[in-house]
Amino acid sequence: MNPSLFPQHVIARKRDGHALTREEITAFVRGATDGSWADYQLSAMLMAVFLRGMNTAETAALTDAMMRSGVVADLSSVRAPKVDKHSTGGVGDKVSIHLAPMVAACGVAVPMISGRGLGHTGGTLDKLESIPGFRVGLSMEEYRAQVGQVGCALIGQTKELAPADKKLYALRDVTATVECLPLICASIMCKKLAEGIDALVLDVKFGAGAFMKGMDDARALAQAMVDIGNAMGKPTRALLTAMDQPLGRAVGNALEVAESVACLKGEGPEDLMDVTYALGEQMLLLAGVVKNTGEARVRLAKSISSGAALAKFREIVAAQGGDGRVCEAPEALLPRAKFQRELRANKAGWAAEVVAMDVALAALQLGAGRSRAEDAVDPAVGIARLVKVGERVEAGAVIACIHANDQARLETAAHMLGEAILIDGAPVTAPRLIEEVI
């Protein structure tokens, strides 16, 4: 090995504030993948990056090396433009489930590799697995074939994709280096760009229920990921969207799938559809199938009104082993909780707050999420019929409905939810959801 690429040399260079070469970064990622760097050397390097940062060229090189640490999907046989969407995670964010078939129904291939929920944020894979028989663990061959035949696949990360990321993320978690912009960007983007996409749209959330609480931090993350995508030859755009209250009216796996099916039938909550359309417009624009956002909105709306998007979702579900009848009668096929309790307003007024984090913690208490990666998730539980900020409510009106499989957990969640929803006597304006397009 070139002595200049020895672990201690590369670590020292970053420790001293130098910009690393592509070769040095590749050596670091290779060391994480093949074990030639010890965990203590990888940890030292992560801390050096955390303290000294990386410029755009370094971060792009890190993303590229992590992407190439495993298999990069070859979707060149798919003639349609290939565009994916990624969200940084929020409460009630089920957008991917209905957005993917909407975009696919417009002639754009959507190769989507998603994750599981952890902490207060829900995971697309957990939601999809509440559909009887639905398989998220497709092989790369199955994934490639389905994108070609159906125009969309909704799967989990395979072992072949970006193995360096799995190793480095585990070390970041135990070395207090998770909150590092270049490492966050590389971790997200290496997996997305390994999917075989032509372009990417990002939903970067800010607010009480988001990973990034402040808008400035969210904007910095969005800009960094856009810069990386563009630097790697993949046109990338990001939307900054608010996450101070849950998105839509449902939080919980099966409940959110049912809400996504309602969206595909033209019956989705207004706020959820606003974000869905905004992301879909950018996907169609980057795919080159429309000339402007107005044309994109018309095509996306037609995919719903014509039934094409719902038919595409049924096709995706069937292709991945699920019961396509969920598209007609989700309430009959999806898991149902033993207990339901309506939470009612104790006075008339306007919904002033529906605190996203508190709602998420109530759902977590019910078993809808996981505190640790190994925790089991109850697909049936959660919260539905949530009131939205700015809505007028009468005394005794339903402001939420709790779905639970355990009476004690229901009681605790009901108390938490009561604290999360504030009814005020004065009118409240509904908050703006989409802040900026980057």
Tokens representing 103 are: 């975009």
* Whether 119 contacts 221, CB under 8 Å: no
- Across 424-438, b (16+ Cβ under 10 Å) vs e yields eeeebeeeebebeeb
- 191 a catalytic residue: yes
Alpha helices in 116-214 (DSSP H): 124-128, 140-150, 163-174, 181-193
Query: Smallest Cα–Cα separation from 188: which of 53, 71, 87?
Result: 87
The type of residue at 156 is G
- Active-site annotation holds for 172: yes
* Given the residues 187, 249, 271, 314, the one annotated as active site: 187
**Residues for the chain: how many in total?**
438
Residue 411 sits at φ, ψ, to 5 deg, of -60, -45
- Kindly state the tokens that stand for 393: 């409510």
- Residue 298 in tokens: 């018309």
- DSSP for residue 422: E
d(CA 51, CA 362): 36
- Answer whether 412's CB lies under 8 Å from 365's CB: yes
- Residue 13 annotated in active site: no
Our CA angle for 197, 94, 114, nearest 5°, is 40
Beta-bridge partners for 400: 343
Q: Is 166 exposed, middle or buried, given 0-12, 13-18 or 19+ CB atoms closer than 10 A?
A: middle
* Secondary structure class of 401 (helix, strand, coil): strand
Q: Which of 68, 120, 127, 191 is catalytic?
A: 191
Is 358 among the catalytic positions?
A: no
Among the options 165, 198, 227, 244, which is catalytic? 165
State residue 384 phi and psi, 5-degree precision: -130, 175
- The residues assigned a catalytic role are 86, 165, 172, 187, 191
